[in-house]
Amino acid sequence: MIKIVLKNSQQLLFDGPFSGVAELFDDMGYSVSPDGWLKLGDYILPASEIRYIEDTGDE
């Protein structure tokens, strides 16, 4: 499971057989806009608000 934690402590969890954060990003597709927004699949997040991204090791 991949966990994205924002500075406001909100968490986004992604289940799946991902071999790491890079595979999640590759599978979902991602881009970063010049003004700092991360688009990950259907999610759009302000990159400056991301505290950390963690591979929890759980599937």
**Residue written as tokens 């500075």?**
7
Q: Token pair for residue 3?
A: 């966990």
Q: Write down the pLDDT at residue 59.
A: 61
Q: Write down the pLDDT at residue 17.
A: 78
CA distance 50 to 16: 21
Other Cβ atoms less than 10 A from the Cβ of 2: the count is 20
Q: Write down the pLDDT at residue 50.
A: 95
Residue 26 exposure: Cα atoms within 13 Å on the Cβ side: 7
Mean pLDDT by 10 residues, the chain (59 residues): 94 87 92 94 93 86
φ, ψ of residue 32 to 5 degrees: the values are -125, 125
